[in-house]
Amino acid sequence: MGKTGGFLEYDRKENAKIAPSERIKNFSEFYIINDSKERKCQAARCMDCGVPFCQSAMNLSGMVVGCPLHNLIPEWNDAIYNGQEKHALSRLLKTNPFPEFTGRVCPALCEKACINGQNGQSVTVHDNERYVIETAFENGWIKPVKPSCRSGKKVAVIGSGPSGMSAADTLNKRGHLVTVFEREDSIGGLLMYGIPNMKIDKKVILRRRKLMEAEGVTFKTGVDVGRDITIDELKKEFDAIVMCCGAKEPRKLNAKGIEGTKGIYFAVDFLTDVTKNLLGNTLDKKVAPLVKNKNVVIVGGGDTGNDCIATSVRLGAKSVTALEMMPKPPVERAANNPWPQWPKTLRTDYGHEEAIEKYGEDPRVFETTVKEVKSVNGAIKEIVTVKVHFENGKLTEVKGSEKTYPCDLLLIAAGFVGAQDYLPKNAKTPLGPRGTVLTKAEGSYQTNVDGIFTAGDMRKGQSLVVWAIAEGKACAREVDDYLMGYTNL
């Protein structure tokens, strides 16, 4: 695929980024998209490797290798190289209903599995994907396609994150009448309110909503199923129900003095407030005062923690410190972490770059957590940290390693422990030991209640956007079989 020997002729060239000193002045997307000529060169690097791990989604040593959607990556890279953008689009949309999302926020499992990555020069699959879909939108190739006939079956999808949108899109294209219920004022789930604007402009989500509505999907926002309306009420109107509400129960921080102290927020709540006020043009009045000229400490080293770093920098924090319990990863792959496994190496993401630019040093402090919160008049003023390490699988404090940091705002980005339980209780679908909704069998999306299904993080646990999309598609297939007695999905 691509150009024979292209991987030898061209070096990897990612989309450039606006300099940190400039991009921290706003919340706009900051990638500078390469032109079509450069994109062809990058697509030419996709070699005829024979075994495309990039699209495999294989499980190796407990880690998934390649794209969970099984995107036909070599095929659309070949089409890009040959100037066949419309053909590239058709091959991309065959497996991925929302490339504009994954082309922005996916960590690109495909690239980590690319055989060129053995030498650190994998194909720019992520950038190529975004190029294909945005070229299509710019040229008016993306148009609403309504089903040629309707099945007469009605499906309620609860939750409009990537899994809910994926399930709704797939079932609608099959001909079922789909209504999506969302408790927030806008659709998108964490895509809308959990991931900042600089990673995905919310116009991208609204653009997809308009397209899906034109194709026949109905969205009802501001409706909290399980509270505003019950599952039993939905059963009277719909033939099947799909729960895609994510795993939004945050992991709490076990530290002395934390209960009842002001100035402590869960990361997603903070990011949600920032986005809502940004969209409502009230950011400077309502959110910025929490952060501006304040000492911010973030607990958690994942993508959400990094987003909190970048957001705090933009809002004028005096200082930003990011605490991570895990050891600092190596710069290069360890011998026990060979290709094509996901590389467990140190990654300096966009937020880290921006903090380094503004404060002159990397904000991350490894093998450290919060031991105590100190407050004055009920508001947080300092935190006491302690070094930790894992001993026989148990997190253990290092005696005498305590350190005090000034802290006016503490953001907890320590992940999630499962689904919020009020909807499962209302649906009478029990949660398992991981806090996720149980299904009849491993790999199934059918719950213990006839006609009720679940997908995405609510079934799988906290994961990636690309996995959520794959879950929604797979769940839709099972729902279709339930409704029709067979499926051609």
- How far, in whole angstroms, is CA 435 from its chain's centroid? 19
| Domain identity same for 222 and 183 | yes
Domain end call among 368, 390, 412: 412
| Domain identity same for 425 and 372 | no
pLDDT digit string (tens) for 163-180? 999 999 999 999 999 999
Residue 425 is assigned to a structural domain of this protein: yes
| Domain identity same for 468 and 364 | no
pLDDT digit string (tens) for 28-69? 999 999 899 999 999 999 988 888 999 999 888 888 889 999
Q: Which residues of 294-308 are buried (b: 16+ CB within 10 A; e: fewer)?
A: bbbbbbbbebbbbbb
pLDDT digit string (tens) for 229-267? 999 999 999 999 999 999 999 999 999 999 999 999 999
Measured N-to-C along each axis, helices 202-214 and 162-174 cross at an angle, to the nearest 10 degrees, of 20
d(CA 32, CA 29): 9
| Domain identity same for 199 and 80 | no
Local confidence band at 1 (pLDDT 50, 70, 90 cut-offs): low
Phi, psi of 177 (to 5 degrees): -90, 115
Average pLDDT over residues 343-359: 96
| Domain identity same for 109 and 169 | no
Mean of pLDDT over the chain: 96
Beta strands in 312-413 (DSSP E): 319-324, 364-366, 368-376, 379-391, 394-397, 403-406, 409-412
Residue 291 in contact with residue 315, Cβ under 8 Å? yes
Which pLDDT score, from 0 to 100, does residue 63 have?
83
Strand partners, 178: 155
User: Read out DSSP for 446-475?
Assistant: B-SSTTEEE-THHHH-S--HHHHHHHHHHH
Measured N-to-C along each axis, helices 36-44 and 125-138 cross at an angle, to the nearest 10 degrees, of 140
Residue 149 is assigned to a structural domain of this protein: no
Which pLDDT score, from 0 to 100, does residue 119 have?
78
Residue 367 tokens, joined: 């093998």
- The total of structural domains in the chain comes to 3
| Domain identity same for 282 and 217 | no
| Domain identity same for 230 and 336 | no
Domain end call among 393, 412, 431: 412
Q: Which residue has the higher pLDDT, 195 or 1?
A: 195
Average pLDDT over residues 301-316: 97
Q: Which helix (H) or strand (E) holds 22?
A: helix 20-23
Residue 224 in contact with residue 183, Cβ under 8 Å? yes
Which pLDDT score, from 0 to 100, does residue 64 have?
87
pLDDT digit string (tens) for 101-140? 999 999 999 999 999 988 779 999 999 999 999 999 999 9
Which pLDDT score, from 0 to 100, does residue 158 have?
98
| Domain identity same for 388 and 457 | no
Residue 144 is assigned to a structural domain of this protein: no
Cα Dmax for the chain? 70
| Domain identity same for 421 and 386 | no
Residue 177 is assigned to a structural domain of this protein: yes
Residue 351 is assigned to a structural domain of this protein: yes
Residue 444 is assigned to a structural domain of this protein: yes
Average pLDDT over residues 276-292: 95
pTM as predicted: 0.96
| Domain identity same for 276 and 391 | yes
Read off the CATH number of the domain in which 269 is found: 3.50.50.60
Residue 71: pLDDT over 80 = yes
- How far, in whole angstroms, is CA 112 from its chain's centroid? 17
pLDDT digit string (tens) for 459-479? 999 999 999 999 999 999 999
| Domain identity same for 299 and 389 | yes
Local confidence band at 2 (pLDDT 50, 70, 90 cut-offs): confident
Residue 409: pLDDT over 90 = yes
Average pLDDT over residues 142-162: 97
Which pLDDT score, from 0 to 100, does residue 322 have?
98
Residue 397 is assigned to a structural domain of this protein: yes
Three-state secondary-structure class, residue 212:
helix
Residue 357 is assigned to a structural domain of this protein: yes
Local confidence band at 349 (pLDDT 50, 70, 90 cut-offs): very high
**For residue 11, what are the domain limits?**
6-138
Domain end call among 138, 169, 204: 138
| Domain identity same for 117 and 160 | no
